[in-house]
Structure 1
């Protein structure tokens, strides 16, 4: 049963401008049009949009999703390609975790230095401002 873009967006958990964007970049096929020229979507479109939204929830890039949705992904090597994409995302997440750990360590060091240097009375300038300025250089 055909549905307007607003209904498809609601069912897919996204917004109408997102659907138009995905259509413009070729991530979803061009929508069928009503006699009045309005976009019309079916359940296969909604399912594809749900897949895209869920892949984005996992932090996959548009290019990674495009590869997953490529017709050849359904072929015999599709599982290998999908596995490679997921492994790439795992590697990206691991690297991001390391970056966040380094950031946490730096911020913790700034806070400790402020506690020791500034103590209960405010120092001017606060060591945190010095530390941030030093790391920016």
Structure 2
């Protein structure tokens, strides 16, 4: 049996894919949090706009500000929804990459266990050979 894990290169590739997927997931989650925070602060700013109109020009300015804010909120809602979808896609990709790597990691662990068992068996055989040789030499010495 080979001393090194025969699929080590593929395992390394799978681990790199998993690390890349994890970094994509972290970036997508950060974007999702940022979009949610921006949406929440825009809503808070909209609620803090004064509602007292003293004349027609201030009423028109408030109407324009509200229309602009609604447009901005619609954009932020779309951005938040897209960030949610991207985060979900990144989570799915990470789970798939992790599943691919886990199977190979288990194979590597089994290979390592078999190598340890083989080493122990070889060592035990050498110890048995030494012990048997000493016993035979002692027996031959007693017969003379």
Greater RCO (CA < 8 Å, at least 6 residues apart): 2
How does the TM-score come out when normalised to structure 2? 0.36
Larger radius of gyration: 2
Q: Which structure has more helix as a fraction of its residues? A: 2
